[in-house]
Amino acid sequence: GQNIDQPTEMTATEGAIVQINCTYQTSGFNGLFWYQQHAGEAPTFLSYNVLDGLEEKGRFSSFLSRSKGYSYLLLKELQMKDSASYLCAVKNSNYQLIWGAGTKLIIKP
Amino acid sequence: DGGITQSPKYLFRKEGQNVTLSCEQNLNHDAMYWYRQDPGQGLRLIYYSQIVNDFQKGDIAEGYSVSREKKESFPLTVTSAQKNPTAFYLCASKPGREIQPQHFGDGTRLSIL
């Protein structure tokens, strides 16, 4: 089967750095997406990785290792508004998106 | 502003009743999707459409139906055959090119009375 694994919940402190991991086992690979979703709202696109390495976008960075089936989302200088769920999704060889259950990130002052 | 509009935000269904969730987009996107989101689970694909007048079943299509008569609109009907319809339903769209991310509406929360 195909699956995406992410931690269910993480807690971090305002101003700190947090890394959210995502491991995947899919039939082929055509890219990995990270989305942010505040409770009761729409997921919003954060980043896309298709080649190995680090993609940086302001306070957010995303890393991919295709050989290890592994990605992480790095959030720096955490703000209270970063409290949300972070969804990892992989596009497989059929261009279907397989979604992880999401990681709920709680930011404490 | 361009975007995806889902309505209503909250919907209640009686046993044995069909209900239709609306999804409209003015982004000129070719592809549209319906997902179901349950607590502790990833998004699950119900139906998708790559082009007008064509749609395909996703992983959990049983008890649901869709139509795609216009590019802008992709309504989802939750039929009485769907025995556990209580969930958060998300509609998404994207341009035709495969590498583009999906854009989501704000969702409809469906509950059973």
DSSP A80: G
pLDDT digits (tens, 9 = 90+) for B9-46: 999 988 889 999 999 999 999 999 999 999 888 899 99
Measured CA distances, A63 to A5, A73, A91, B90 (Å): 15, 7, 16, 27
CA distances from B25 to B2, B9, B51 (A): 8, 16, 14
The nearest CA of chain B is from the CA of A67 a distance in Å of 20
Which residue in chain A is spatially nearest to B42 when comparing CA positions? A101
Residue A63: predicted pLDDT = 98
Q: What is the pLDDT of residue A24?
A: 98
Cis bond upstream, residue B8 (ω within 30): yes
d(CA A8, CA A6): 6
Contact B42 A31 (CB under 8 A): no
The alpha carbon of residue B9 is apart from the nearest alpha carbon of chain A, in Å, by: 10
Computed from CA positions of residues A7, A8, A11, A12, in that sequence, does the dihedral angle turn out positive or negative? Answer: positive
Taking only the tens of pLDDT, chain A with its 109 residues reads 789 999 999 999 999 999 999 999 999 999 999 999 999 899 999 999 999 999 999 999 999 999 999 999 999 999 999 999 999 999 998 888 999 999 999 999 9
Residue pLDDT, tens place only, B72-102:
999 999 998 888 999 999 999 998 766 789 9
Q: A96 to chain B nearest CA, in Å?
A: 9
| pLDDT recorded at residue B113 | 81
Residues 82-101 of A with CB under 8 A from B: 87, 89, 91, 95-101
Is the pLDDT confidence value at B8 over 90?
Answer: yes
- Say yes or no for a CB contact (<8 Å) between A95 and B105: no
* Confidence band, pLDDT 50/70/90 cuts, at residue B1: low
Q: Rounded to whole angstroms, what are the CA distances from A22 to A8, A47, B68? A: 11, 13, 34
- Chain A residues inside the 8 Å CB shell of B103: 45
